[in-house]
Amino acid sequence: MYEDINRCGDSGIYGHMLRNWNFQADDTGAAPSTEFWSVVGDGATISVDVDNGLNNVNTNSLRLDVSESTGRAGVSNEGWWGVRVQPGEKYQASFFAKSNGYTGALNVTIETADGTVLDSAATSEPVSDKFQKFEVTLESTASDVSIDNLFVVSVDSAEAAGSSIYFQVFSLFGETFEGRENGLRKDLADSMQGLNPSFFRFPGGNNLEGQTVDTRWKWNETVGPLEERIGRMGDWSYWNTNGQGLLDYMYLCEDFNIEPVLGVYAGYSLTGVSVPEGDLEPYVQEVLNELEYLTGPAGSKYGSLRAAHGRKKPFNINYIEIGNEDWFSTTYEYRYKTFYDAITSAYPHVKIISTADQESRPWDIFDDHYYSNVSEMEGLFSKYDNYGRNGTAIFIGEYGTHVNGCCNGSPASLEAGLGDAIFLTGMERNADLVQMIAYAPMFKREGHEQWNPDLIHFDTETVWYTPAYYVLSEWSKNRADTILQVDHTDGEFGPLYWVAGSNKKTKQVFIKVANIGDTEQKVTINLKSLAVHTEGVARVITGNSLDLENSKESTTVKPEESTFKLNSANDFEYTFPAYSATVLLLHIQ
């Protein structure tokens, strides 16, 4: 499940390395400023110019006034809490510029805060009095990773003296996932890949809905070249550039080979406002336009817009979620019905996900969210055991175990990870019904989060994983296609929670066990008629205290792999450590 929260989009997995790159608004959504930019050189000043915009979306520019002087004059950007330079990495930089007098080249550098140039390139075309796009490639000569760096565009002051230079729509990307243009920061995308995902729910969460109807996420403002994208005030207290937009999310799904689960705005925003039934039509049309943009032939109105944006081939959309957490509203009944009717009549094959109870129309899948503590997760373990099976499925669209209260200040500790292991195990036992599950929130920039706990932590330099990440990754990588019946002869669930399954294709048996207790548990396991090889593999996540957390400096809690011997082809003992989440893998003979 993905939305821009905890600074995980702009500044996070969206690989754009510069901050305040198009001067549409400041970080709080207020009037644009030069924040995160500094002037380079003594004989120059910078300001936001409101009279020299690039286009009707980017109506301002960053203006550099050069007075007569010597040395350099330029603008520097400090990035998102730094500009990361890695040995051997290539950087694609671009920006628009014009000048009322200067006609030379522009020097582009990445340099340390104290002025040591790490990479440099000059534009090949001269600046003119009309905005044009400049693109350069830089290649790091640095031997170490560093972040205390600046991105600088400068000129020789003597040559530019008396002129103003106007800049707009800067971009800087290092290595991206699959080399995708305008793509994903590679280490964060790799961390997502490590979860072995099957689908991607986007763009929210709350960040779909907007605090107000007007500040909802609007697909059409997130597509096209960067210079045409309109930012918005996100729902998590900071400006969203929409540099990462609808098409980028679809490319992400393709690059990961995963199914898009598209959340669509359904007429409810977070200050509690619902669009009246009689006024819904334009919002429904907005969704239909979005779907035509994604799935329509290149000859259709919005399909041709997609083609103009570089993607001729239509995408497939098989899952659409109408709204988000609509139990907060009292109006889902009429809103769901209206969106459901419009979407299903145009796209009858799509599976519709409902987010709240309503009786007006059916659903294929129901989205339940659980942010709960460990004892609540123990209770939820069996929630779906006796739940009605009526042909619809459950989607856990968001879950996460907290330790001392949802949804802030809670550590991403081993205890939280084990709560997740219990919950995941209970859901897997009901996998006929609970067909999809997603942790939320997925990422946080350390120290800049709005929600805790989160699965993957990062800063400008690197990424590190929580115990919950490793639990989900292990549970996800070791997937059964059949859940096996388990008869237990001694005791009920707790402190041990288990599920067993097999996979015909890989010829594996998986036994997944969470032990939330403070003592080890020795268990005799008999596979009955299943015959397996007499050596198994155990992947164990454990630690000597529930409070253990991973940090940037140290990954204390992570899976450790070992092998174990069976007594025979279907019989063995295994001791599950205190505070542990374990996957036992056996190979069918």
| Strand-pair partners of 62 | 48, 167
Q: Which residue, 210 or 501, has its beta carbon nearer to ligand AHR? A: 210
Answer whether 454's CB lies under 8 Å from 443's CB: yes
Q: Which residue, 324 or 550, has its beta carbon nearer to ligand AHR? A: 324
Q: Which stretch binds ligand AHR (CB under 6 A): 200-208, 282-290, 428-436, 518-526?
A: 200-208
Q: Which 269-308 positions form the footprint of ligand AHR (CB under 6 A)? A: none
Q: How far is the CB of 397 from ligand AHR (least distance, A)?
A: 8
Could you say which of 3, 4, 415, 428 contacts ligand AHR (CB under 6 A)? Answer: 3
Q: How far is the CB of 125 from ligand AHR (least distance, A)?
A: 44
Could you say which of 248, 290, 326, 398 contacts ligand AHR (CB under 6 A)? Answer: 398
Structure tokens, 71: 């040395």
Residues binding ligand AHR: what is the number (CB under 6 A)?
A: 11
Q: Which stretch binds ligand AHR (CB under 6 A): 159-167, 199-207, 425-433, 470-478?
A: 199-207
Q: Which residue, 15 or 203, has its beta carbon nearer to ligand AHR? A: 203
List CB contacts of 515: < 8 A, sequence separation 6 or more: 418, 495, 496, 521, 576, 577, 578, 579, 580, 581, 582
Could you say which of 15, 41, 203, 204 contacts ligand AHR (CB under 6 A)? Answer: 204
Which has the closest alpha carbon to 371: 395, 399, 396? Answer: 399
Rg (CA), the chain: 27
Structure tokens, 464: 């590190």
Could you say which of 9, 79, 174, 205 contacts ligand AHR (CB under 6 A)? Answer: 205
The rounded distance, in Å, linking the Cα atoms of 401 and 381 is 12
b (16+ CB within 10 A) / e for 515-536:
bbbeeebebebebeeeebebeb
Contact flag: residue 325 with ligand AHR (CB under 6 A): yes
Q: Which stretch binds ligand AHR (CB under 6 A): 198-206, 330-338, 426-434, 566-574?
A: 198-206
Structure tokens, 394: 């459950």
Contact flag: residue 20 with ligand AHR (CB under 6 A): no
List CB contacts of 96: < 8 A, sequence separation 6 or more: 54, 131, 132, 133, 134, 167, 168, 169, 227
Could you say which of 440, 468, 514, 532 contacts ligand AHR (CB under 6 A)? Answer: 440
The rounded distance, in Å, linking the Cα atoms of 215 and 182 is 24
Contact flag: residue 449 with ligand AHR (CB under 6 A): no
Could you say which of 86, 171, 182, 324 contacts ligand AHR (CB under 6 A)? Answer: 324
Strand order in the sheet with 482-483: 482-483, 496-503, 508-515, 580-587, 535-542, 560-565
The site for ligand AHR (CB under 6 A) is made up of 3, 5, 204-206, 324-325, 398, 440-441, 451
